[in-house]
Amino acid sequence: MKKLLLLLFTQVALLPLLAAECDTTVIFNQKSIHIKDSADIVSVSVYEGENPYNKFYESRHIDGKKQTSWELSESVSFPFSDLITGKKEKKRQRFSPHWSGIGFGFCNAMNSNLSFLNSPNGVALDFSNSFEIFWNFATIFTPLNNNWGFITGLGIDWRNYVMNENRYFTKQEGQISVVPCPEGANLEFSRLKTVDLTVPLLIEWQTRALLHGPVFFSLGPVIGIKTYSSVKTKYRLDDEKVQYFNKNIKPNPINLDIMAQGGYGTFGFYVKVSPFCIMQKNHAPEMRAFSTGVMLHF
């Protein structure tokens, strides 16, 4: 291909010398290069057998003014051709993965029966104030065809689980517990925070690219590697601020979410459910992660 391009550019450069000659045909690498020259038009076309490529170069002289155009086909192309021609190359439809981007959602906790926790003496999260923010910054994908593909990559996921009512997270004797606030205390907040490095293993189906992008659905596990976790509580008691903060809270070092996503173009909705507890067994209350929200893909 590079040799063909070099020959084409050479022929175009020699057009002034060819102007005095008849129309010229050059055979190269089983391709015919036709150079047509007249008083009004000079053009270069490429053929393979009877099949023509898009016209490569054309120069017209109309009313004494020169009009030049370049058109590169899928078969005759080179990097950054749109910077030279002012037109983008025509690209064949191909699989476009949906992982890289930013997302925002709300999170909650579930028990082994996949019911939301709402214990009057245990974990009861405020769903409207418990949130998830993530940034998926790297994508690796293998297209299986134009509609199916396998996706992996890397991301960072930050979740904030906020307690409801007048109870808070605290660390007692090496374990995370949920206890009621002292009588007369006014709870400002109590949250459990986790930060994970995420690695997806998703299978995605999508339609062929439409005007603004494909309709897509993806499903699969997302592995979470804990990089940070902590609990923090603030409340007021008799005009005095009380604060608890602990980092060594025994999270599961590796967790897993089952993620389902659907959307159109660069916009998607997602749901994630984890079959495993956020914290290590016997070190914290049972909490299995649940989150749902929206995502904007890059």
Please report, rounded to a whole number, the percentage of residues in the chain having pLDDT higher than 70.
Answer: 68
141-173 confidence digits (pLDDT tens): 999 988 899 999 999 999 999 998 788 998 888
| pLDDT value, residue 158 | 97
Res 92: pLDDT = 45
Do 163 and 126 meet the contact criterion of CB atoms below 8 Å apart? yes
Per DSSP, the three-state class of 85 is helix
User: Mean of the pLDDT values across residues 186-200?
Assistant: 94
| C-alpha span between 202 and 217 (Å, rounded) | 10
How much of the chain exceeds pLDDT 90, in percent?
43
Which residue segments constitute the domains of the chain, with CATH numbers given? 2-85 (no CATH), 101-297 (2.40.160)
Per residue in 109-130, pLDDT (tens digit) is: 998 888 888 876 788 899 999 9
Residues 6+ apart with CB under 8 A from 285: 122, 123, 176, 177, 178, 279
How far apart CA 238 and CA 186 sit, in angstroms, is 9
Sequence-distant (≥ 6) Cβ neighbours of residue 83 within 8 angstroms: none
pLDDT band at 86 (very low <50, low <70, confident <90, very high): very low
Give the CB-side neighbour count of residue 8, counting CA atoms within 13 A.
25
pLDDT per residue as tens digits for the range 206-233: 987 555 578 999 999 999 999 999 999 9
